[in-house]
Amino acid sequence: MTPCFVRRVATTSRPARCPAAIPHLAPRQPLVHLRRRVASQLANRGRVPHDGGAAEGLAPEAPVGAAGIPPAVPVEWVAEVWIDPEWYAVQEAEEPMPSPGLPAVVPLAVRSALIGRVSTSKNITPDIDCTQDSGVSRRHAQLTTDGTRWFVEDLGSANGTFVGPASGPLPNDPIESGPKRELADDDRIYVGAWTRIVVRRATPEEIEAATA
């Protein structure tokens, strides 16, 4: 069961952050894991990596629109998953926050990516795995793209999905469950007790690492 917690309202703007807290200036994880993440993400859907054609010895991709299988896309976008002390400070969660560090970089190789926590019994394997944060629901939210824009949709989570700009105060109110919310370039997604998710374009190095 996902624990619910009381949230203190954030009423002031955040202070200027150090470079390590600003996504485009922060150091990132080694890129060696990106190809593995792509393969795992697509394997969960019965697909193969998008490289212009099926690799030798691999089955071709399932047809676009096949039941339950979102279409694969070239890796042009990634999601950074951060541990955010500022977000944790207003949640009043009982669970201790892990030590902040480098963000997990998740390549977005499908048009629809689930944010949530792993559940073997319910056969849930989220694309953006927030299992460490018990304030995140098993099926918490969904990211979708039309090829140029990204949208987030809350899936009826216990603690809500919040969206706010990096340059403004932390969001106080969750987005409505059901309708999709378009993400602006400066938007950040907040879920659970300490998780912040940033959707951004992949760097050339990340694209190379994800498809090598």
DSSP label at residue 153: E
Rounded to 5 degrees, φ, ψ at 102 are: -70, 150
Q: Is 60 part of a structural domain of the chain?
A: no
Q: Is 199 part of a structural domain of the chain?
A: yes
CA-to-CA distance for 154 and 181, rounded, in angstroms? 9
Q: Which residue has tokens 């602006």?
A: 184
Residue type, 52: G
CA-to-CA distance for 198 and 189, rounded, in angstroms? 6
Q: Is 3 part of a structural domain of the chain?
A: no
Contacts of 39 (CB under 8 A, 6+ apart): 49
Check residue 8 and give its pLDDT: 59
CA-to-CA distance for 101 and 30, rounded, in angstroms? 13
Q: Count up the domains in the chain and report the number.
A: 1
CA-to-CA distance for 167 and 144, rounded, in angstroms? 24
Check residue 23 and give its pLDDT: 43
Check residue 209 and give its pLDDT: 86
Check residue 41 and give its pLDDT: 57
Q: Is 77 part of a structural domain of the chain?
A: yes
Contacts of 85 (CB under 8 A, 6+ apart): 97, 100, 194
Q: Is 163 part of a structural domain of the chain?
A: yes
Q: Is 9 part of a structural domain of the chain?
A: no
Regarding beta strands 112-116 and 128-129, do their DSSP bridges make them parallel or antiparallel, or are they unpaired? parallel
Residue 181, beta-bridge partner list: 152
Q: What is the mean pLDDT of each run of 10 residues along the chain (212 residues)?
A: 64 44 46 59 54 36 42 83 98 95 93 96 96 98 96 98 97 98 98 98 91 74
Q: Is 204 part of a structural domain of the chain?
A: yes
Q: Is 109 part of a structural domain of the chain?
A: yes
Regarding beta strands 139-145 and 195-201, do their DSSP bridges make them parallel or antiparallel, or are they unpaired? unpaired
Check residue 17 and give its pLDDT: 44
**CATH number of the domain bearing residue 168:** 2.60.200.20
Domain enclosing residue 130, as ranges: 23-52+68-211
Q: Using N-to-C axis directions, what is the helix angle for 34-43 and 204-211, rounded to 10°?
A: 60
Check residue 2 and give its pLDDT: 74
CB 82 within 8 A of CB 196: yes
Q: Residue 170, SS3?
A: coil
